[in-house]
Chains A and B, each alone.
Chain A
Amino acid sequence: MHRSLDLLLSALFNARDIWRLPVDGSLHGALLDRHLLLNLWIILGLAALAHLLLLAGVLFARDRRAGTESISRTVRLEYLPLAFFTLLFSWLTLRAERLWALSRYTGAEPTALQVEVTGMQFAWYFRYPGQDATFGRVEPALLDPGAGNPLGIDPADSHGKDDLVSSELVLPAGREVDLRLRALDVIHGFAVPEMRVKQNAVPGQTIHLHFTPTRPGTYAILCTQLCGLGHYRMNANLRVLSASDFEHWLHVRESRGTT
């Protein structure tokens, strides 16, 4: 109990600690965080102001008389503030849409690292295309996790021979990654709070998501769309390595095969 009080107190009195956002390890995260904090401060200010007015309105009494409603009073108390809100929210929306467009309207650069992410009850699998830079064909009928083929890669397709399947997502820092999200069974939510990304993986669709990790470290990949009884433990690690460490990892894994 005292620990929660501690946290509450530090949250109340230490401005740097208030929002407790996890560290940001992505290129686009700084702008997103700035916009988020701007929003949070604005709504905190508006909420405080509205509550002050509410309290002042009921506490500071004056003679009871008609709250006479004239056109000028309605304009002053209702329409002017509304015009202000319209401008404020339009401005915030414009900023937000520009950030959204930056990260979503266009796909990844052609040089981006290609990784396929597959969600299934209750695990994430990550597939790298190998030397030929092409993912092999997958067939739902060939799914056989027990035999080491959790994604159903078709052995008849030569592109699949060098595909590398991993249970952790390993990425080089400073290079854009183009994730292709798929789900085998039900909808899953691919989320990496420290990379400030989230995107559902939907059965029957391949959805692209791209970002650039900048900060080496180990981060949490969560499932954020209720997917069944094991939803809470459907997670994996994202390991961001330096470019040379990543090349080394890839080399070792490729020489070891796809297990």
Chain B
Amino acid sequence: MSQSPYLRRESAGTLASSVRLAGRTSPIRCHLFTTDHRAIGRLYLWLALLSVAIGTILSLLMRLHLTWPERVLPFHGPVLPEDYLALVTIHGTLMLFFVLTTAPQSGFGNLILPSQIGARRMAFPLINAVSFWVIAAALVVLLSSTFVPGGSPISGWTAYPPLSAVPSAGPGQGTGIDLWLASIALFAIGSTMSSINQLVTVVRMRCEGMTWGRLPLTVWAWITASMLSILAFSVLLAALLLLFCDRHLATSFYLPVGDVVNGTLRAAGSHNGSPLLWLHLFWFFGHPEVYIAILPGMGLTSMILGNFSRRRVFAYRTMITTTLLIGFLGILVWGHHMFVAGLNPFAGTAFSISTIAIAIPAAAKVLSWLATIWRSRPSYTTAFLFSLGFVSLFITGGLSGPILAQPILDQYLHNTFFVVAHFHLIMAMAGIFGLFSATYYWFPLLANRTLHEGLGRIHFVGSLLGAYATFLPMHLTGLAGEPRHYAQLTSIPNAAGDLLARTLPLNRGITWAAFFLAGTQLVFLANLLLTLWRGPRSSPNPWDATTLEWHPNLSESDFGLLPVVYREPSQYAYQNGEARALPQWIDPALLPSAPSTSGDRGVS
């Protein structure tokens, strides 16, 4: 590997320097085939931005069709039921995998994690680059499914067999789902490599003084998510392989004897498989996956609330423990997606207890966040506001979790819009707010510029209102009985027609709110482009932060002396009602005698 010259060149770590350097070497080599973690992190973020843009447009098309099913799409024609389900499938797959997994874990993980632990680089730079390209290939393969005969798959991001196992089950279930399988398999391989890399980096490459107890909570979140990724994606990969065999090698892992799909008798003979095997394997992956998406947001929220409140994060050690506990419990709860799937009812009870148990570490996090900011006179930066938004959405979306965790209530609410509301608030919206918070906070490190705060505040207020206006009413339509995955709610025969018609007025309101929410994101895009074009240069540590990624030498050159860490993050000295930051890297010998610090063990 000849990465050292690239590392040296890319180490300046800013777009500006990259552009300067592009004159010297081919820009393709410099930006695309780099093994520098910061360049790779930026590539991940661009990939996630592209995916979130497509995913959002698809969701708007879904809302449009659901509200006005007779409308004809320009350049497309009428939206058929299979088109709607293809939108659902690609929206879910893009958002879950290519946005909420890649951006927080791989994007910001690459950009920030090494410098936060005082490392020059990731442990395996080449593997890092390869995993990005595998994931980029996965995205291309996924999107290409739109253009094959039959179009994209229609079985949702969970791809339950036999619907996903038998080509005759519907349009998109032929080549379309084969491409989906290939895409997710590539994604699983890329994510596993990337997670091993992150885990090894944290274990092996922490700088002097960076003990486990001094790691920022973001790093704890990243390594917990990495451990979950390694476990979950390897199981998913196995499940995908079995599904591939069922589709092409005449096996019957997921297909029972005598299954007749669309007039075709499948799996005759003695091979008796069960679709429930897929549900177990998929959700063993799927539930940890949602924690992979949200844990980095939780870690960042803790650090940002502490930073702008000028306080140590309340109950820091408890926060570390609850991060690990949420990760651990996250692998024991998959059955709560299967309360009405045909499990033994005793299993329902067991999984409901393990699921409710997660409410306790999650509540501990909220209590810590509230105590951290409590009457602290915080600075209302956009990053701080988005973190507050994260807490709000985490509370609102999280509280419906214990309801869905009770099998008797899930028997009524399962697969209704109540569930859609729950996971969009807790995972999608809270996850996105975490990403926005990260973007506003770390943008000076990404591009050496600061995003416009005024536009940022407009973006925050619009997004918060839009998120609640879109997803809160979905609880009501769900309680009224509206199921997910319905291509339309009008012209439905029988008593179902009346039941679904009751939800139409509210559904129209939801669609308007969704357009408002998406429109607000244009403010962010404008802010991003304006700032990249002519935004103000940022000072080296504009938020007066205490963690190592703001170390002057790390942002200027990776080849300065490695820093030494003296204390936990979020430490402050208080004098006359003012708080002075004590960055992790400042030698206590160089400090004027600190009058009072908050519970620090590193300062004597």
Contacts and interface: CB of A to CB of B under 8 A. Distances in A.
Interface residues of A, number: 100
Given A20-B476, A236-B494, A35 B408 contact: yes
Nearest to A205: B342
Contacts of B408: 32, 35, 96-97, 99-100, 103
Interface stretch (B205-213, B241-249, B396-404): B396-404
Interface string A215-259: 000111111111111111101111000000000000000000000
Nearest to B599: A69
B170 A229 contact: yes
Interface in B380-419: 388, 391-392, 395-396, 399-400, 402-403, 406-409, 411-412, 414-416
A232 B66 CA distance: 11
A101 B375 contact: no
Contact of A67 (B312, B483, B498): B312
Interface residues of B, number: 115
Contacts of A53: 370, 374
Interface string A1-34: 1011111100100000011111000000000100
A133 interface: no
A228 B314 CA distance: 49
A21 B539 CA distance: 56
Interface stretch (A154-162, A171-179, A186-194): A186-194
Nearest to A53: B370
B496 interface: yes
A170 B166 CA distance: 33
Given A198-B340, A228-B170, A78 B345 contact: no
A66 B371 CA distance: 12
A202 to B, nearest CB: 5
Contact of A203 (B256, B309, B484): B256
Contacts, number: 331
Interface stretch (B138-146, B152-160, B219-227): B152-160
Given A50-B395, A68-B599, A205-B342, A97 B352 contact: yes
B73 interface: no
A103 to B, nearest CB: 7
B262 A1 contact: no
Interface stretch (B2-10, B103-111, B360-368, B434-442): B360-368
A18 B477 CA distance: 11
B461 interface: no
A89 B132 CA distance: 42
A78 B377 contact: no
Contacts of B154: 226, 228-229
Nearest to A7: B505
A58 B378 contact: yes
B360 to A, nearest CB: 6
B388 A200 contact: no
Contacts of A186: 160-163, 166, 169, 261
A96 B162 CA distance: 32
Nearest to B362: A85
A196 interface: yes
Interface stretch (B79-87, B290-298, B545-553, B556-564): B79-87
A235 B598 CA distance: 62
A226 B375 contact: no
A81 B160 CA distance: 40
B352 A93 contact: yes
Interface string B270-298: 00111110000000000000000000000
A221 B496 contact: yes
Interface stretch (B115-123, B446-454, B528-536, B574-582): B574-582
A16 B163 CA distance: 41
B383 to A, nearest CB: 14
B479 interface: yes
B505 A196 contact: no
Contacts of B257: 204
A231 B412 contact: no
Given A32-B409, A224-B414, A229-B171, A100 B345 contact: yes
Contacts of B15: none
A132 interface: no
Given A66-B596, A82-B360, A228-B170, A193 B412 contact: yes
Interface string B220-261: 000000000000000000000000000000000001111111
B349 interface: yes
A140 B81 contact: no
Contacts of A47: 395-396, 399
Contact of B160 (A21, A97, A187, A235): A187
Nearest to A98: B408
A63 B376 contact: no
A19 B367 CA distance: 29
B480 interface: yes
Contacts of A21: 479-480
A20 B163 contact: no
B460 interface: no
Contact of A237 (B309, B495, B574): B495
A172 to B, nearest CB: 18
B508 interface: yes
Contact of B260 (A20, A58, A96, A143): A143
A202 B314 contact: no
B399 A57 contact: no
B470 to A, nearest CB: 13
B502 A229 contact: no
Interface stretch (B25-33, B40-48, B485-493, B515-523): B485-493
A66 B597 contact: yes
A238 to B, nearest CB: 8
Contacts of A60: 375
B356 interface: yes
B487 A196 contact: no
A57 B163 contact: no
A149 interface: no
14 contacts: A18-B476, A54-B395, A62-B377, A65-B577, A67-B314, A77-B371, A97-B349, A100-B408, A184-B260, A203-B256, A203-B275, A204-B255, A204-B274, A222-B496
Q: Please name the 9 residue pairs, one residue from A and one from B, whose CB atoms are nearest each other, closest first.
A: A204-B256, A96-B406, A4-B509, A193-B481, A140-B258, A104-B345, A235-B496, A220-B496, A232-B486
Interface of B: 80-82, 85, 154-156, 160-163, 166, 169-171, 255-263, 265, 272-276, 309-312, 314-315, 318, 340-342, 345-346, 348-349, 352-353, 356, 359-360, 363-364, 366-368, 370-378, 388, 391-392, 395-396, 399-400, 402-403, 406-409, 411-412, 414-416, 473, 476, 479-481, 483-489, 492-496, 498-499, 502, 505-506, 508-509, 512, 572, 574, 577-579, 596-599
